Structure 1
Amino acid sequence: MLRTDRDDAPAVAVLWSLNGLRAVGALMVMLYHVNSWNLQVLRGSSAFYTGVGLFFVLSGFVLTWTARPGVTVGAFYTRRVARILPNHLVAFALGAVVTVAVVGTTIDPVALLAGTFLLQAWLPDDQSVFAVNGVAWSLSCEIAFYAVFPALFWGLRRLRARGRAAVALTAIAVPPMLGLIWPGLITLMFHLPPARLPEFVLGMVTAMAVQDGWRPRVPAPALLGVLAVLIVGAARFDVHPTVLTAVLALVFAPLAARCAWSDVDGRSGWARHPAVMLGGALSFSFYLVHELVIKVLVATPLRGWVTIPVVLVASAVLALALWRGVELPARARILAATHQPGPRLVTGRTTGSRRPPHSRPLSVAWSFPAVPAGSRVTTWGPVDAVAVALPTDAHPTHARVAEPRAAGVPVDAERALHRVPTRPAPTPAAPAHPEPTYAAPAHPVPVTVGGPESWAPRHPVTPRGGTAPGGWSPPRPPAVRRPT
């Protein structure tokens, strides 16, 4: 159950526990709306809207965790659009029907157009931002995050761990400072994408820290207890919204890291329970339709505690239909219709084309870590520190994080940044004259070295003058006649 985009790509541990957290976040938002629409008063739920902040942190974490070296920007955007657009369009159409036929209000054309194309979060008018399907404003923020993700990923990967942490903490502190100085901006900053971007960046930085081997010292149950105290306490003492959002994000991040490690170590059996896995799969569709169900119930005389299971069951049934009937088939068709070729690594500069210093196509250069200038690359291997290179039929509980090998083993410059071991490059027998030089192969395959698997070339490293991968054969150096 290891997910890969290509057959020859390294498998990474599926983060089932984060799917469970996403389902919890969707349930929190549902209870918040049950209370805010006066179906049932739930004491302590007035701060449950912070479940959206959990979505943003998890989104940055998961996108960074699953980012594969060699993926083009176009392929990344295609997958993101295929993930959210079909569900959004169907849910938004249902929202338009509910707004006109059940609520009995007209829809502003500007709000309808902006909401259809997920631009409503940029509007200053709250009525337009939350029109038709109110929860879709968060998808508008997600689209903005996806637009800048390749640039953020490229920049953050070129910083050291402390530099990335400083960037994330500085960014997360900006919205509270602005909200405290100008209280009139609080409503705007709740839905404006730049104001919510720090939570997404914090998730990205946390994922990179986990890939570098960082483990939070506080256990997950303690973090959950802290979150419960903060959320219920915020409802009791009316904490400033921007301050609460920033503080909770700083707890969501280590919680996501703890859950990711439990998946890597094979200790997240609860997250692989069928009910939890189904809840995580339906969480996105559930989030999109639950407020529409609440709007329909508001038009009826039904009130009280019974409304909670009614909303839960009705939203789950609609979510299942949306997931099976729209999300899965539409995503498959979009990806099939816009099939992107696999990444291609070149072994040298091509005359007349502009290449980055590491000689990779510009369309995929963003997804690779930085390689210091002048470093000698002995092998090629697109794998991060906690990417678990296992056979496709291996069970995720067998996943192990690679430990650094003893000194003296040659490691390529790309892996050295993440402390990932690799197999030494084979040393063919070389003639006395001249000394052979080596060309990097184009395709990696997994091989087993000792215990955990690492990555080594598909083709043996070829001495200059032999046949290199791709059919290119460099000229053989002239023979040197030795004096008798």
Structure 2
Amino acid sequence: MGYERTSGTEIALSKLLHVQVLRALAALSVAFLHAQHDAEGLAARIGHGFAALDRFPWMAGVDVFFVISGFIMVYASRPLFGEAGARGVFLARRLVRIVPLYWAVTTLYLAVSLAAPALLNSAPLQPWQVLASYLFVPFERPDGTVQPLYSLGWTLNYEMFFYLLFAAVIVRPKRIALSLLVAGLAVLVLAGRLLPLPQPLAFWTDPILLEFAFGLGLGWLHAKGVTLGRGVRWALALAAVALLAANLIDLRSDLSEMRPLAWGLPAALLVAAAALSRTEREPSALTRFAVTAGDASYAIYLVHPFAIRGMGVVLARTGADAALGPWGFVALSLAVTLLAGILVHRLFERPLTDALRAWVDRRA
């Protein structure tokens, strides 16, 4: 999410080191949340106490991804604005970037659900719902949630919808295109608040769409050459973390309505702090590793449930879970998730994306 992997654009994105680091932290934040959930089950099984760090909204890593996505689409699409044929080129590149790995993990999840449904503890879906999952069409599951077969894909359903909207305006000059897109997102959200819409229209008018608009605005500021000093950027980042940690709004009462304010605005502050830097220092070894994790953040996000659940199964069958304990499990799960994500990115995602992108460019 929020990353255009091409030879030319990748060189440009290499200058956004802090954005890459933020992408890594966002992916690991979501993984940390889910690792704690499995650690609770481990603690109950071995008779240990476990107090999850659930005061902080770790799931807000997704909101950071959405803001980054809006920013990167502006940043990476600069040569395409106002060009004939831009729609097809843009959509082809986004499909190449998003679809292969998502379809791979969805197919793996489908195989596991058929072979060992007890491992997943989820209600079976109808064939049309499985097909809709592959096609990024939202639908309501039997439990009332609007999630595809592989539940993490709900974020990609939003991403693909945003890409379609972006493609609709990209043939216009950048200023006009972004104005139309921000206005369109606002109108969709307003319509969703005023009208009782069925699915998937209710999904496509959720207030979370405004987080893409936040990213578009930051992309516009970046294109205009707006930069922030180091002190200001640190202040924004600390303010964002403080707002999230304060948990000022009871999100459990109405997460959908308040999420752009409670999580989206702090996410935008974090992205502003990362993206609007004046200069890039020579990165340290730690920063270079974080950038590597940022490159693999899409893979980390999609494979982390397999890594966490797989680690739990191995520890339970070997009897090592009692010795490791719930927090040891969380730490090991994050390490395995990070390694698995980087390996999947380097051995599968990047080679396949590069090959498909080269094929698309030859046909463009």
In structure 2, C-alpha distance between the alignment counterparts of 1:258 and 1:271, rounded to whole Å: 21
1:205 equivalent to 2:217? Answer yes
Call closer, same or farther: CA 1:114–1:216 in 2, change over 3 Å: same
Aligned counterpart, 1:231: 244
Return the offset for 1:159. Answer: 4.6
Structure 1 length as normaliser, TM-score?
0.58
Contact 2:243–2:266 (Cα < 8 Å) also in 1: no
Return the offset for 1:126. Answer: 6.5
Could you tell me which amino acid in structure 2 is paired with residue 125 of structure 1?
R
Contact 2:251–2:258 (Cα < 8 Å) also in 1: no
1:322 equivalent to 2:322? Answer no
Return the offset for 1:80. Answer: 1.0
1:142 equivalent to 2:131? Answer no
Contact 2:244–2:266 (Cα < 8 Å) also in 1: no
Contact 2:67–2:267 (Cα < 8 Å) also in 1: yes
Aligned counterpart, 1:54: 64
Identity of aligned residues (%): 23
Q: Which runs of 5+ in 2 are unaligned?
A: 42-49
Contact 1:18–1:256 (Cα < 8 Å) also in 2: yes
Listed as ranges, the matches of 1:252-401 within 5 Å are 252-262=267-277, 265-267=279-281, 269=283, 273-297=287-311, 301=316, 302=321, 304-340=326-362
Contact 2:71–2:218 (Cα < 8 Å) also in 1: yes
Aligned counterpart, 1:69: 79
Call closer, same or farther: CA 1:110–1:21 in 2, change over 3 Å: same
Return the offset for 1:169. Answer: 10
Alignment RMSD: 3.9
Return the offset for 1:227. Answer: 2.3
Call closer, same or farther: CA 1:252–1:67 in 2, change over 3 Å: same
In structure 2, C-alpha distance between the alignment counterparts of 1:166 and 1:149, rounded to whole Å: 10
Could you tell me which amino acid in structure 2 is paired with residue 243 of structure 1?
M
In structure 1, C-alpha distance between the alignment counterparts of 2:292 and 2:216, rounded to whole Å: 25
Contact 1:99–1:106 (Cα < 8 Å) also in 2: no
Could you tell me which amino acid in structure 2 is paired with residue 197 of structure 1?
L
Call closer, same or farther: CA 1:229–1:68 in 2, change over 3 Å: closer
1:243 equivalent to 2:244? Answer no
Return the offset for 1:155. Answer: 6.1
In structure 2, C-alpha distance between the alignment counterparts of 1:84 and 1:138, rounded to whole Å: 11
1:32 equivalent to 2:33? Answer yes
Structure 2 length as normaliser, TM-score?
0.75
In structure 1, C-alpha distance between the alignment counterparts of 2:259 and 2:282, rounded to whole Å: 29
In structure 2, C-alpha distance between the alignment counterparts of 1:160 and 1:341, rounded to whole Å: 25
Call closer, same or farther: CA 1:338–1:43 in 2, change over 3 Å: closer
Aligned counterpart, 2:45: none
Return the offset for 1:229. Answer: 2.1
Return the offset for 1:57. Answer: 0.5
Q: What are the Cα deviations for residues 350-390 of structure 1, in whole angstroms up to 9, with x where unaligned? A: xxxxxxxxxxxxxxxxxxxxxxxxxxxxxxxxxxxxxxxxx
Call closer, same or farther: CA 1:245–1:19 in 2, change over 3 Å: same
Compare 327-336 and 69-78 and name the one that shifted more: 69-78
1:219 equivalent to 2:209? Answer no
Secondary structure at the aligned position of 2:78 is classed as: coil
Call closer, same or farther: CA 1:154–1:271 in 2, change over 3 Å: farther
Highest RCO, 1 vs 2 (Cα 8 Å, sep ≥ 6):
2
Aligned counterpart, 2:139: 123
Secondary structure at the aligned position of 1:306 is classed as: helix
Aligned counterpart, 2:96: 82
Contact 1:50–1:245 (Cα < 8 Å) also in 2: no
Aligned counterpart, 2:54: 44
Call closer, same or farther: CA 1:256–1:318 in 2, change over 3 Å: same
Call closer, same or farther: CA 1:152–1:246 in 2, change over 3 Å: farther
Return the offset for 1:246. Answer: 2.5
Which of the residues 115, 128, 136 maps onto 1:110?
Answer: 128
Q: What are the Cα deviations for residues 309-358 of structure 1, in whole angstroms up to 9, with x where unaligned? A: 2211222232123212221111122123223467xxxxxxxxxxxxxxxx
User: In proportion to residue count, which structure has more helix?
Assistant: 2
Could you tell me which amino acid in structure 2 is paired with residue 233 of structure 1?
A
Secondary structure at the aligned position of 2:361 is classed as: coil
Return the offset for 1:33. Answer: 1.6
In structure 2, C-alpha distance between the alignment counterparts of 1:169 and 1:214, rounded to whole Å: 24
Could you tell me which amino acid in structure 1 is paired with residue 357 of structure 2?
L
Aligned counterpart, 1:151: 168
Could you tell me which amino acid in structure 1 is paired with residue 225 of structure 2?
G
Call closer, same or farther: CA 1:268–1:257 in 2, change over 3 Å: farther
Return the offset for 1:13. Answer: 6.7
Q: Which runs of 5+ in 1 are unaligned?
A: 343-484
Aligned counterpart, 1:16: 17
Call closer, same or farther: CA 1:79–1:166 in 2, change over 3 Å: closer
Call closer, same or farther: CA 1:328–1:165 in 2, change over 3 Å: closer
Contact 1:56–1:199 (Cα < 8 Å) also in 2: yes
Contact 2:210–2:260 (Cα < 8 Å) also in 1: no
In structure 1, C-alpha distance between the alignment counterparts of 2:158 and 2:292, rounded to whole Å: 25
Return the offset for 1:288. Answer: 0.3
Call closer, same or farther: CA 1:233–1:165 in 2, change over 3 Å: farther
Return the offset for 1:298. Answer: 5.5
1:192 equivalent to 2:208? Answer no
Return the offset for 1:255. Answer: 3.1
Q: How many residues align?
A: 328
- Higher-Rg structure is 1
Listed as ranges, the matches of 1:401-416 within 5 Å are none
In structure 1, C-alpha distance between the alignment counterparts of 2:173 and 2:301, rounded to whole Å: 30
Contact 1:30–1:287 (Cα < 8 Å) also in 2: yes
Return the offset for 1:51. Answer: 1.1
